[in-house]
Structure 1
Amino acid sequence: MNKTERLHHMLRFINQKQHFTLPDLMQEFQISKRTALRDIASLEEMGAPIYAEYGRYGGYRLLQQMQLPPISFNTDELHALYFAMQALRSFSDLPFQTTFASVHAKFMAALSDRQQENIFNMQQRVTFKHTEQIKNSSHLELLLKAAVQQLVIRITYPDKNATHDQSEAVSKTKTSIRVIQPIALNASKGYWYCQAYDLEKKAYRVFRCDRIISAVLTDMEPVNHLAEIHSEHLQSLWKPSEQAISFQCKISDLGMEQFQQNHYPSMRLEEHDGFYLLVGTYEPHELEFIVSYLAGYGTSIKIVEPEMLKESLRQHYLNLLECI
């Protein structure tokens, strides 16, 4: 980082802290005491209202908030931002009413002809393989707003044991009304998920956003302590229920590579006497899903238990043979 760039970063740093010391600058920017003193002098020459405080708890203080200069990016940072934006291309829905196309157009318009040419040349040599969003999720903005502002919403959601009436031309899915307080959104394997607290069931739940049929704000009081939950605690939302079924599969080296590319929070790898096991749990209503998932490993896995899962996978293969 050259001096001009460092001074810009330093302006933002001290504008945020208001009170700072030489060791603060030395640690933040990895510079010597002498360089820190020279930089403070340079900032004062630029008009930064800094004054020194002496004594045991002395240091430097900013007299007032400053109007910061526009953010500037060097060439490498521009390239990093551009290719980071490629992740947006996977999603037709985003929780902030924007699209990759609009972001991309504005970003490119701000670049010089030379910078645009550099990015075009890099595009010819760098490719990204994304998991495309599978189904649209029309309530992401409201879900994110509720999560950030700690609001309670009422949603219409399909029942777990939803059935279809085969006697009618158009099948009807059973639904239920759920009152939830969203905590966080995450995107995984082509779907958006909402981690939330169900106020009526008094339990944490994970909802697939594309399955939410309707969502409206309520004036109900939120559960205040949810705002204090840290990201590491959100993993508890994926804990199995009391009815969950445990499974174990022997897995080959090839299978472990596949596991690293595609697995779920309810699964993990364990080493036992020189070989590895794929272990995890699934809910009773997820049997068809887990069978389909394990079938994707082919001969890379062998189910150890439970016996019911073995039989279900065997029947899955027999059904496939009947289709040939």
Structure 2
Amino acid sequence: MKKAERLNLMLKFINQKKRFTLSDLMAEFHISKRTALRDIASLEEMGAPIYVEYGRNGGYYLLNQMKLPPISFSSQEVYALYLSLQVLEGFTDLPFKVTYESIHKKFNDALSDQQKEKVARIKNRVVFYQTKQVTKCPCLEMIMTAIIEHNVLKIRYRDAERLIQPLVIYALKGHWYCQSFDMEKREYRVFRCDRILHAELTETEPLTELEHITMLNSHSLWKPSEKAISFKCLLDDGGIAIFQTEHYPSMRLVHEENHTYLIGTFEPNEWDFIVRYLSRYGKSLRIIEPEELKIHMKEYYMDFIRHL
């Protein structure tokens, strides 16, 4: 790390710490005691109001907060930020869309001519083939805000009103989905965001025990109904790869005697959904149980053949 970059980061560090020691700087920036002393001297020359107190409990103190220099990015950081913006470009209803467009403009305005030239080269040579958003989601920004601020929403989902605490939002194959907790039914549910026609904030207190929920552990909330149907399918390596690119909270992989199985549940009104989902696996999947699922799959393929 160059000295100028290190001093810039050090200013931010001591602005947050207020009190610090040489050991703090040495550990944070992986520098020697000698370098730390030289850097403190350089910061003082730059006008940092640093005061030293000697003794057993002594250390360095920042007398008052400094106005920090503007954030600067290295060339590699500029490329990474630009690529991140490009990935998001395919979403029609990006959360905070107006803010996103403003950030995109500010990002481009802040680039030097040389950086603009290199970014243009990236645009013409690095392409992300991804599924474009296929439906409008008028309430997407409100849902995202509710997740961030731990709010409960009253939504109109298709023709029904629901009271939900949104937990996780994600995009998959052109659609936005919201994993939520239904406050009235006391059930974990996944809603497709384009089917949420209206949303409004409520005064309902959110469940604090749900604040720790993330995308990685949200499946722990999933509980099938008493009428749910269990299934089990054998997967080969290709099937495992398909599962990793698309699956749902009601499904998981298990390993038994050197074999990998896809197990899960679906509701009685979800036969069409589960058949269409499993059909994507092709020969990479073999249904173990239930027998009725095999029958539905055969009927699906026979119907497909008749339409050829």
Taking structure 2 as the reference length, what is the TM-score of the superposition?
A: 0.89
SS in 2 for 1:271: strand
For residues 224 and 295 of structure 1, what CA distance do their matches in structure 2 show?
38
Name which of structure 1's ranges 130-139 and 106-115 shifts more when overlaid on structure 2. 106-115
Is 1:289–2:273 an aligned residue pair?
yes
For residues 133 and 88 of structure 1, what CA distance do their matches in structure 2 show?
10
Residue number in structure 2 paired with 1:69:
69
How far did residue 31 of structure 1 move?
1.9
How far did residue 41 of structure 1 move?
1.8
For 1:260, the aligned partner's letter is Q
Residue number in structure 2 paired with 1:112:
112
Residue number in structure 2 paired with 1:278:
262
Aligned 8 A contact 1:88 1:99 in 2 = no
Aligned 8 A contact 1:193 1:209 in 2 = yes
Alignment of 1:113-192 (within 5 A): 113-158=113-158, 175-192=159-176
How far did residue 29 of structure 1 move?
1.9
Aligned 8 A contact 1:246 1:306 in 2 = yes
For residues 221 and 210 of structure 2, what CA distance do their matches in structure 1 show?
15
Name which of structure 1's ranges 236-245 and 29-38 shifts more when overlaid on structure 2. 236-245
Is 1:244–2:233 an aligned residue pair?
no
Is 1:317–2:301 an aligned residue pair?
yes
For residues 41 and 240 of structure 1, what CA distance do their matches in structure 2 show?
64
Q: CA RMSD in A?
A: 2.4
Aligned 8 A contact 1:150 1:222 in 2 = no
For 1:299, the aligned partner's letter is K
Aligned 8 A contact 2:167 2:213 in 1 = no
Change in Cα spacing, 1:268 to 1:179, as seen in structure 2 (3 Å) is closer
Is 1:229–2:212 an aligned residue pair?
yes
Aligned 8 A contact 1:196 1:206 in 2 = yes
Change in Cα spacing, 1:241 to 1:2, as seen in structure 2 (3 Å) is farther
Residues 146-173 of structure 1, C-alpha deviations (whole Å, 9 max, x = no match): 3333333221113xxxxxxxxxxxxxxx
Name which of structure 1's ranges 127-136 and 255-264 shifts more when overlaid on structure 2. 255-264
Change in Cα spacing, 1:144 to 1:279, as seen in structure 2 (3 Å) is same
- The answer for unaligned runs of 5 or more in structure 1 is 159-174
- The answer for unaligned runs of 5 or more in structure 2 is none
For residues 138 and 205 of structure 1, what CA distance do their matches in structure 2 show?
20
SS in 1 for 2:66: coil
Give the % identical residues: 53
For residues 260 and 224 of structure 1, what CA distance do their matches in structure 2 show?
30
Residue number in structure 2 paired with 1:255:
239
Match of 1:208 among 192, 195, 203: 192
For residues 56 and 142 of structure 2, what CA distance do their matches in structure 1 show?
50
Residue number in structure 1 paired with 2:45:
45
For residues 284 and 57 of structure 1, what CA distance do their matches in structure 2 show?
69
Change in Cα spacing, 1:61 to 1:309, as seen in structure 2 (3 Å) is farther
For residues 239 and 11 of structure 1, what CA distance do their matches in structure 2 show?
50
For residues 65 and 210 of structure 2, what CA distance do their matches in structure 1 show?
29
For residues 251 and 8 of structure 1, what CA distance do their matches in structure 2 show?
53
For 2:289, the aligned partner's letter is E
Taking structure 1 as the reference length, what is the TM-score of the superposition?
A: 0.85
For 1:9, the aligned partner's letter is L
Aligned 8 A contact 1:108 1:116 in 2 = yes
